[in-house]
Amino acid sequence: MMTGSDSVSLDHGKIWVVREFLPLLQDSDLDTFRKIMSHTLGKLMRSVPGRSTMRIELKTPGKPSVLAYLKRYKPEYLTPRRIFLRILHRPGGQDEAMQEWRMIHALRAHGFNTPTPIAVGQSKGFGIVTRSFVMTADIGGGQAADVFWRTHNRSCRRALIAALASLARQFHAAGFIHKDYYLSHVFVVERDGDLNLFLIDLQRVMGPAQFRHRWIVKDIGALAFSAERAGISRTDMLRFYQRYSGVSRLKTDDKKLIRTIWTRVARIRRHTPRYGESPILSPPSAGGQTS
């Protein structure tokens, strides 16, 4: 099991915990894989077959409780195709809990903001991971970018466009792709007049590596699709593109790329999400991470 540095093992290697959170998990009676996978004291934020996300409280005597998000995967989540890919150790078959854990550490090492990692765990059956979880701390005062857009004034919106463009440019320049790069997967925290952006739901993120151009188009297309749904104008989207690409005036290649991105947006519009849900899952309130 690959883990981040300064992590300690529990339950015969089934769990790895960031050292500073170990006493908190022990005081909360969540120090075995079985206890964490069967924990029911919390608010269910999202549930699809075999996968759920719950907001829980971690408590220790004499100290404030810590809000955390517990994302769990169970055998029902493993489709025949995913099992096949997992047996062959092929892309798309990796355990998403461990993938998110790895990407949290990789992105933080590159200077990006992510939820603070707490713990990760896996259990195997028939030689492959069949049950797993990843636990992260709540982003205090965080608000999904699409919610932020709808609830703030024009000046804040302009600042958000600039911050999103800078984040996307740095993210791709560092060799990462998100694969679910919707506005609801970017959290905004206002601090001293600045907007700090956090990337969440990192189970499909890949990198650092060199990727084909089409993956970049997919990421920007997802952002554009969710921006359209949030009510962001084409003019503001153009401002985003100019800052993202570093151009002040569009050239022929830029116009061609923009057309390609909008073609991608049209494809997403036609897509029927699995489980009948929207691909955009906006949190109901500040700090509510749902996916």
Summarize pLDDT for 216-270 with one digit per residue, the tens.
Answer: 999 999 999 999 999 999 999 999 999 999 999 999 999 999 999 999 999 999 8
Question: CATH says 7-137 is which class?
Answer: alpha beta
pLDDT band at 276 (very low <50, low <70, confident <90, very high): very low
Looking at residue 2, what is its pLDDT? 52
Residue spans in the chain of domains classed CATH 3.30.200: 7-137
Q: How many residues comprise the chain?
A: 291
CATH architecture of 143-276: Orthogonal Bundle (1.10)
Cα gap 189→115, rounded to integer Å: 12
Looking at residue 214, what is its pLDDT? 92
Looking at residue 289, what is its pLDDT? 65
Under a CB-based contact definition with an 8 Å cutoff, are residues 121 and 17 in contact? no
Residue 51 has pLDDT above 50, yes or no: yes
Residue 284 has pLDDT above 50, yes or no: no
Mean local confidence (pLDDT), 28-53: 97
Q: State CA 282 to chain mean position distance.
A: 12
| Percent residues over pLDDT 70 in the chain | 91
pLDDT band at 211 (very low <50, low <70, confident <90, very high): confident
Residue 171 has pLDDT above 60, yes or no: yes
Looking at residue 158, what is its pLDDT? 96
Q: Which residues pair with 16 in a beta bridge?
A: 9, 120
User: Over the chain, what is the mean pLDDT?
Assistant: 91
Residue 140 has pLDDT above 50, yes or no: yes
Residue 148 has pLDDT above 90, yes or no: yes
Q: Can you say whether the dihedral through the CA atoms of 187, 229, 99, 165 is positive or negative?
A: negative
Residue spans in the chain of domains classed CATH 1.10.510.10: 143-276
Looking at residue 291, what is its pLDDT? 53
Q: Can you say whether the dihedral through the CA atoms of 83, 84, 87, 88 is positive or negative?
A: negative
Looking at residue 210, what is its pLDDT? 87
Mean local confidence (pLDDT), 188-199: 94
Q: Which residue has the higher pLDDT, 161 or 213?
A: 161
Residue 156 has pLDDT above 70, yes or no: yes
**CA separation, residue 24 to residues 17, 30, 100, 154 (Å):** 10, 9, 21, 42
Looking at residue 277, what is its pLDDT? 39
pLDDT band at 282 (very low <50, low <70, confident <90, very high): very low
Mean local confidence (pLDDT), 149-160: 96
